[in-house]
Structure 1
């Protein structure tokens, strides 16, 4: 049903009671002056049941409007602003209140008020006008218009800055460790995926499991595995005023390694009992149907997927799931499965049957990434921390890159953050240097360092040398080249020994080693 708008100049007590004016919206003009422009209104809406909704502050502009009251250009009673007008809510609360309304009412309001966030054509008109630049954008950034506000109208969360620290205190048998994580919601590239990278055995998996325990364990053991805190800035002031308990609403750990020695921590679903915890992986997280910590069968994993996709649909998360799948389809092999196209054709029992058939015909790698992203869409909510252990174990590089992008997009939408433990430089290509810790170990002491080079979009070979250094040069093809150098110092002769089958990087290394040897002789 169409809604009627009325300009209102009296005080709020004069607004008619809900029983008198259902399907009516009131725009109360404000005397606020933006360098000669007076465009500010308070929007109050009564829905079809007569329930009052105080939506918030809105500014309305008009093409070629030079100065003065915009209300003088608007009819005192109207169904929709004409094509010369445009409007913009003034904060996140306005769009959150709009989003909470009945879908039909929400659509009607945005359309009738010619909201620029919901209509790019109207935005392209407004952006050229002085009143838009001077007044409507005085307290609002274009970044908020295209990012935060749009995301709220699409059902996403308000994104906030994360700044937290994980510390392990120094002990007799344990070396101290401190890792700091910062997420800027508007950074580009995104900073919501952080990476711990290093060779096998440095303790990355152990670290992730301790993080889970530090957040969700309710016994004394939690204090022994480290703690999360709010770091201080250069002036000794906390980056956030919220308590440590408010840092995260939930934790999701993802681990699909068959060799992971750690037993999943029992899931915590009751939000009133503190941080909620969920597990996604190969092992049973409960004693239902078998002992907790034992591997699940393929049939059990299939059922997990079917239940999760049905849950996402029932909770209204199907569009979010489709967006994640489309991100994964940047990998050609995953795109050939046509999931984003085929799943929309089924509902109810047919959907469950199709989901089961689809999952069962997939390779193990594709099945695991599909189950993981589906469960993440189901489980990740506002301020969730996702901990992933070696996702590269089942994924080829293009799909791994696509998965990291899909994860980052999902976390942006839900205002979350992920920490990934890996030894794959492919993942480093997807995150900036400031989101990476190189992990090394000497005896009991773990040493976290930032890479010396920028990692986002860098060559995999360069990243491999940066992270693993001498370990690379003492293994693989490096060792074969050095063996030949012991027999001959001739570049052409060694090339013939390999039948010309040396790549450009191997040739470069061979030339460098020959030059280094000549320099040593000359010295």
Structure 2
């Protein structure tokens, strides 16, 4: 495959490469990047297939900006073919999927040839040990431009593993935070282990007011705006591509997006909850942040289309876990449905939203009478290549959310099922390989069975996308699904915070034992215990009380009544 630069600029839609055959063409971009101008769009064709690759950053030694240098080289007689002769340069793609997509289509050997032509910094530094590349990674331009985005950091950190065919793993994460007393505390999040126990999920648990959610907020802040402060924040740069926050508490204040941040990879952070940004107005050009039940509906509809779009874009990646198919498989554990849909206007013909080259007949579902007639478009795993995801998004009635159908009739979901569906679809829509999912109090609207299904769902998704999760919770049901070294118990004294692991194995453990250790409820009088004491005083003995209760008593209560009677 040839790699070329013809001096063309990026447009709203990517043009096809000028050259014939298998070719990857860089397109100039006017993104300033603090004066370094290293950003290039990419258009790529292999055979008859166009690959939707993300952008790439290329740094030329001692030149600002890079795009001006490449244009000058063309004017001086360079034919535009890579590698650039007599020029020192390195590059980093905006996302690690860049070479994964190429490898899935042209094979690893030809992908390495492309990486060498572009002088990929990760491969040259970690595999080739190229001295010029190493020197360029020490320059200001590399740090301020090629490593200013989270996706590019991940691509440099682990990109060589894709090209060298090695496993990419999210490492243990150290994080120092300011606790509720204003002092420094530390977490050692365990995601690697030599034991067979699952280590995809870590849990923060403890009573209210101990600062669990505060830790998640600080983690988000350090991810979005890392500082040079070595006292707080991640101990070392996390090898992650994206951070996703899920919080349906009405009292949280996570950032809803990255508006106002001078970042190109705004998708390095995603938030889902009851808060969101209203449409821009003259008074507020970014849109006012508000609290509404409509935001989860909107997010779920968009996320389902993100699942469809990712399946179309990344299907060439080896072992790609199809997102729409995963949505269907996970949600059917809690909801009996045939397919999920999004609403489109009645005035929009379904055929106009299908891919140009498809021969599949359009399928849309009509509901309601003539006055309230509505049109729904199925988003199903057996129709991935049929729809044009971008066109559907442009036509989406997003306030309608996601509607599930069974036997061609819409299903009415319970509030718990609806929230469960929101969480599943949003996480799958946002997750990329090597993501960190932060979930604040997932048990708020889920009954115990859905809590267990939520953890099972999360484990399945994390495994499929080589990702990890951190949950702040009060749920001992959740803790029972996590090994003890992944459980971080927050215990507050009068003027200090202690973070520790349970001294016993929590995975598959006894819920009462976990609850007593975490919340100290063995020292708290329960209402039913007070009732037993009162009834014993009235009846005079345990035998008399048990006789009066008859068959309406369980074994545990019998033991407690007799024990209290002896006391």
Q: 5 Å matches for 1:186-335?
A: 188-217=196-225, 226-229=232-235, 244-258=236-250, 260-264=251-255, 266-267=257-258, 276-285=268-277, 288=280, 292-298=288-294, 300-316=295-311, 319-330=322-333, 334-335=334-335
In the TM superposition, residue 367 of structure 1 has moved relative to its aligned partner by: 1.9
Give the counterpart of 1:413 among 464, 469, 483.
Answer: 464
SS of 1:437 mapped into structure 2? strand
Contact 1:192 1:417 in 2 (8 A): yes
Q: CA contact under 8 A between 1:472 and 1:478: conserved in structure 2?
A: no
1:100 to 88, 98, 103: 103
The partner residue of 1:160 within 145, 156, 169 is 169
Q: Distance in 1 between matches of 2:325 and 2:469?
A: 20
List per-residue Cα deviations over 1:179-221 (Å, max 9, x = no partner): 111212785332111111122222222221122112223568x
Number of equivalences: 355
- Once residues 167 and 510 of structure 1 are traced to their aligned partners in structure 2, the CA distance between those partners, rounded to angstroms, is 47
Equivalent residue, structure 1, for 2:481: 430
Determine if contact 2:489/2:499 at 8 Å carries over to the other structure: yes
Change over 3 Å in CA distance of 1:448–1:509 after alignment to 2: farther
**Offset of residue 461 of structure 1:** 3.2
Contact 2:242-2:267 at 8 Å conserved across structures: yes
Moved more, 272-281 or 203-212: 272-281
Query: Does structure 1 retain, via aligned residues, the 8 Å contact 2:303–2:426?
Result: yes
Quote the Cα distance in structure 2 between the aligned partners of 1:100 and 1:445. Answer: 52
Say whether the 8 Å CA contact 1:392–1:422 is kept in structure 2.
yes
1:251-288 Cα shifts (integer Å, max 9, x gaps): 11110012x24253543798657992111111115774
| Structure 1: tracts of 5 or more residues without a match | 1-21, 23-46, 50-95, 107-151, 230-243, 518-523
- Whether the aligned pair in 2 keeps the contact of 1:326 and 1:340 (CA below 8 Å) is no
Aligned twin of 1:479: 530
Q: Which residue of 2 aligns with 1:337?
A: 337
TM-superposed deviation, 1:471: 5.8
Deviations 1:224-245 (A, max 9, x none): 8x3111xxxxxxxxxxxxxx22
Aligned to 1:126: none
Q: Deviations over 1:54-113 (max 9, x none)?
A: xxxxxxxxxxxxxxxxxxxxxxxxxxxxxxxxxxxxxxxxxx97982339x99xxxxxxx
Q: RMSD of the TM alignment (CA)?
A: 4.0
Q: CA contact under 8 A between 1:174 and 1:444: conserved in structure 2? A: no
What is the CA-CA distance between 1:419 and the residue it aligns to?
0.8
Question: What is the aligned counterpart of 1:365 among 380, 391, 416?
Answer: 416
Residue 383 of structure 1: aligned partner: 434
Note closer, same or farther for the CA distance 1:247–1:483 as it changes in structure 2 (3 Å cut).
farther
Whole-Å separation in 2 of the counterparts to 1:264 and 1:360? 33
TM-score, normalised via structure 2 length: 0.54
Alpha-carbon distance in structure 2 between the residues aligned to 1:457 and 1:475: 25
